[in-house]
Amino acid sequence: MPNNASFRKGRVLPVFPVYLTSPSQAAHLLLEGRRLICLVRHGQTDWNQIKRLQGREDVPLNGTGRLQSACTAMIFRRCFSAGVHFGAVCTSPLSRAADTAGYITAALSAPDNTDPALLTPVNDSLIVLPNLNERDYGSLSGLTLEERKVLFPRGEKQAGNVESVPAAAARMYTAMDDMMDAVSEKAIIGVTHGGIINAVFSRLTSGEIGTGKTLTVNCSVSLVAAGIGSPVPLAYNLQEDGIYEYMNKMLRSGAEF
């Protein structure tokens, strides 16, 4: 996965992990009765590769995205084997998210040493939640960065029919409630999209990270503790082994799943 370069309006946005709460503090929050929500951005698509804004367009995973999804799925399998017991996987209705979620479902019932390249998505038990859908980018959807600069030089405000960041963040709050209603286990996986993950983390961090500040990597995982009071952001944009390392440290700090 890339770790240092993506572009928005000509600026380089950081894509590194952000640790908002230590694993030991996260374990304490969960011991108080909160639940762990793992927000996973879907794997790569051809449109991601050329920076064409997807929004609600149903663009499938490409070969790289399928392999990313399978590798991330096996990291969740490692977490499961260590003691993080996930329930059914929740997903956005869009196929790029649902197929990413299908790889995770397949991995959770696979042997620990399964080759990710041999995984096949299992989608029949997924919980599809409309509130996990991507932001609606209206007239901007389907345009490359260069096309957006020409047609809508003032961006989202000029387009006028784009779901706002506050509205998307509020929808993700509802989605987290939906996930907690749908899944009984303490650790929940929701596969969703970069725009809405950025929107909710912008709200959770008062604009320090998220929309306009950072970019979520394909198949990165962002963690939230929810269920008591306001959701608490734990970590953003965890990638590859960093996903397992954070959760394993939570377990060693006394978190129970």
Copy the structure tokens of residue 255. Answer: 């978190």
Domains belonging to the chain, first-starting first, are 7-252 (3.40.50.1240)
**Strand 11-12 with 7-8, pairing:** antiparallel
pTM: 0.94
Burial of 38 (0-12, 13-18, 19+ CB in 10 A): buried
Query: What per-residue confidence (pLDDT) applies to 157?
Result: 87
Residues designated catalytic: 42, 134
Amino acid at 63: G
- Tens digit of pLDDT for each residue in 150-178? 999 988 989 889 999 999 999 999 999 99
* Distance, C-alpha 235 to centroid of its chain: 11
- Tens digit of pLDDT for each residue in 58-71? 999 999 999 999 99
Q: Is the pLDDT of residue 4 over 70?
A: no
Contact 19, 242 (CB under 8 A): no
Q: Which residues contact 14 (CB under 8 A, 6 or more apart)?
A: 4, 213, 214, 215
Query: What per-residue confidence (pLDDT) applies to 8?
Result: 45
Average pLDDT over residues 248-257: 96
Q: d(Cα 169, Cα 192) in Å, to the nearest integer?
A: 13
